[in-house]
Amino acid sequence: MSIKGKVAIVTGCGSGIGQATALRLAKDGVRLVLNDIDSQALAGTVALFQGAEASQVPGDVAQESTAKSLVEEACRRFGRVDILVNNAGVHHIGDIDETSLEDWNRVISANLTSMFLCSKHAIPQMLRQGSGTIVNLASISSFVGQEMNGKSTFLYNVTKAGALQLTRSLASRYAPDGIRINCVCPGATRTNAIHIEDPVELDNFWKAVGEAHPLGRVADPREIASVIAFLVSDEASFMTGSAVVADGGYLVR
Ligand SMILES: NC(=O)c1ccc[n+]([C@@H]2O[C@H](COP(=O)([O-])OP(=O)(O)OC[C@H]3O[C@@H](n4cnc5c(N)ncnc54)[C@H](O)[C@@H]3O)[C@@H](O)[C@H]2O)c1
């Protein structure tokens, strides 16, 4: 696909879907500016590259200074920003009466403020270039209410519905400027987003979650990375404002 030589910013690539996306884009010849709030995890991802051109900008993308630095580093080192993948995020399980204002602010910041800030700083550069593309990590949770072990995931779902609307609103605004903005909506994907210490319990958790998907399993992060790699390539040149569902059939039930 036609993405060789392009310049991409990927947030939250110390693990999971972000790491798989960074590796996939590096393999496709994309030059990268990579971020994670966890600098050790970020360095671990960069160590997996073989000969890829990549800069690291550790930090919290819910802070405007980090979002600004990502764009500045891409322009300083590579002279442009072709691709932004707004991937950084956290999961949250908890009913509304046990969710504090601090929880609300933390999850909204990590999942949604981060997308606002990175897009805010990348779009002016894309406008100067007359081209660019953004993929936001939305979710099946953008569309439905969900519970895990009897507890609501409403706060997470609110942020993912926000990611979908941010995608549509910005896609509509910037289509005339040659900027395409889409979101990918994964079903459950086996990553570090869920913290369970015991490995047997963890396997059982993902197996049970997989059973809610008609394909009978959860996704591997590489299966989501391949959708993102398509969306940011010129092969998807007529796609903007789309919510691309990659969910093993979850939403058809
Ligand atoms: N795993 C799933 O089932 C699933 C499904 C749908 C959507 N998603 C979305 O995919 C994205 C990636 O999640 P994942 O499952 O790979 O999780 P993950 O926990 O494996 O990876 C997320 C990464 O983001 C980083 N991060 C978190 N907050 C950050 C911040 N404020 N600034 C910079 N980095 C930050 C974390 O340190 C971590 O390395 C998230 O937006 C998530 O909501 C995941």
Which CATH number do you get for residue 146? 3.40.50.720
Is the CB of residue 193 below 6 angstroms from any atom belonging to ligand 1?
yes
Is the CB of residue 110 below 6 angstroms from any atom belonging to ligand 1?
yes
User: What letter does residue 111 receive in the DSSP assignment?
Assistant: I
Q: Which of 156, 174, 205, 250 is catalytic?
A: 156
With a pLDDT cut of 90, the percent of the chain lying above it is: 96
pLDDT above 60: residue 64: yes
pLDDT above 90: residue 146: yes
222 falls within a domain: yes
Is the CB of residue 37 less than 8 Å from the CB of residue 111? no
Mean pLDDT on 179-190: 98
2 pLDDT band, cuts 50/70/90, is confident
Look at residue 32 in the predicted model and tell me its pLDDT. 97
Look at residue 145 in the predicted model and tell me its pLDDT. 97
Is the CB of residue 21 less than 8 Å from the CB of residue 233? no
Is the CB of residue 88 below 6 angstroms from any atom belonging to ligand 1?
yes
207 falls within a domain: yes
250 labelled catalytic: no
80 falls within a domain: yes
251 falls within a domain: no
Determine phi and psi for 22, rounding to 5 degrees.
-60, -45
Determine phi and psi for 11, rounding to 5 degrees.
-95, 150
pLDDT above 80: residue 202: yes
2 falls within a domain: no
252 falls within a domain: no
Query: How many A from CA of 176 to the centre of ligand 1?
Result: 31
Distance between CA atoms of residues 103 and 107, nearest Å: 6
249 falls within a domain: no
Number of separate domains in the chain: 1
pLDDT 10s digits, 219-233: 999 999 999 999 999
| 110 CA: nearest ligand 1 atom | 31
Sign of CA dihedral 239, 242, 247, 251: negative
Look at residue 187 in the predicted model and tell me its pLDDT. 98
Range in 26-40, 42-56, 142-156 the model is least confident about: 42-56
13 pLDDT band, cuts 50/70/90, is very high
Range of the domain at 72: 7-244
Is the CB of residue 153 below 6 angstroms from any atom belonging to ligand 1?
no
Distance between CA atoms of residues 215 and 186, nearest Å: 13
Distance between CA atoms of residues 181 and 183, nearest Å: 7
84 falls within a domain: yes
pLDDT above 70: residue 1: no
pLDDT above 90: residue 65: yes
Starting at the edge strand that comes first in sequence, how are the strands of the sheet with 179-186 ordered? 54-56, 31-34, 7-10, 83-86, 132-137, 179-186, 243-246
